[in-house]
Structure 1
Amino acid sequence: MLSFLWFLIIGGIIGWVAGLILGKDIPGGVIGNIIAGIVGAWVGGTLLGEWGPKVSDFYIVPALIGALVLVFIVSLVLKAMRRAA
């Protein structure tokens, strides 16, 4: 149970940092940060492999890069949806 909480906390931090670096808001607040961090970690791990420091099942560098890509794509999609409406 404690490892699951760490998983959520680290995922949220990674998503939050990705949003700060890009200067974009992630919809959904804390839940959005957690989802962006976890999905970004999966994307980064898939594309870049497992390297760098590891914290709570997250390899930090690929997870952050994956979260950056994810936040960027989500912000582009949301911007396009706002224009279309």
Structure 2
Amino acid sequence: MINLIVLLIVGGVLGWLASIVMRTDAQQGIFLNVVVGIVGALLAGLLISPLIGGGTITQGSFSLSSLLVSFLGAVVLLAIVNLVRRGSVR
């Protein structure tokens, strides 16, 4: 139960930071930030972690490397969403 709460909080913070980097923060609310953070971490676990090693926050790892990988996954997810929605990464 505690891990789920921590995952939601950390996912929300990572999603919020990724939305600031991708300049989509004004369009997103708290719920979407959490979703972007967690789905981005899942995406990073599938695509990025096998390439560079380490875990993600969805795997229960809360080290600096897992936070960076999860953040990178959230940024990639927002870039893909922007590309589909607007036709440009931004």
Taking structure 1 as the reference length, the TM-score comes to 0.76
Q: Does 1:51 align with 2:54?
A: yes
1:14 is matched by which residue type in structure 2? L
Query: SS of the residue aligned with 1:11?
Result: helix
Match of 1:21 in 2: 21
* Aligned counterpart in structure 2 of residue 78 of structure 1, from 78, 81, 85: 85
Equivalent residues of 2:57, 2:70 under 8 A apart: no
Return the alpha-carbon distance in structure 1 between the equivalents of residues 69 and 26 of structure 2: 19
Structure 1 outlier segments of 4+, above 3 Å: 25-28, 52-56
Structure 1 residues 26 and 73: CA distance shift in structure 2, 3 A: farther
Q: CA deviation at 1:73?
A: 1.4
How many residue pairs get aligned? The number is 80
1:51 is matched by which residue type in structure 2? G
Match of 1:83 in 2: none
Unaligned runs of 5+ in 1: 81-85
Q: Does 1:67 align with 2:70?
A: no
1:75 is matched by which residue type in structure 2? N
- What is the CA RMSD across the aligned residues, in angstroms? 2.6
Q: CA deviation at 1:56?
A: 7.9
Q: Does 1:37 align with 2:37?
A: yes
Query: SS of the residue aligned with 1:51?
Result: coil
Between structure 1 and structure 2, the one with the greater Rg is 1
Equivalent residues of 1:51, 1:61 under 8 A apart: no
Sequence identity (%): 34
Query: Normalized per residue, which structure has more strand?
Result: 1
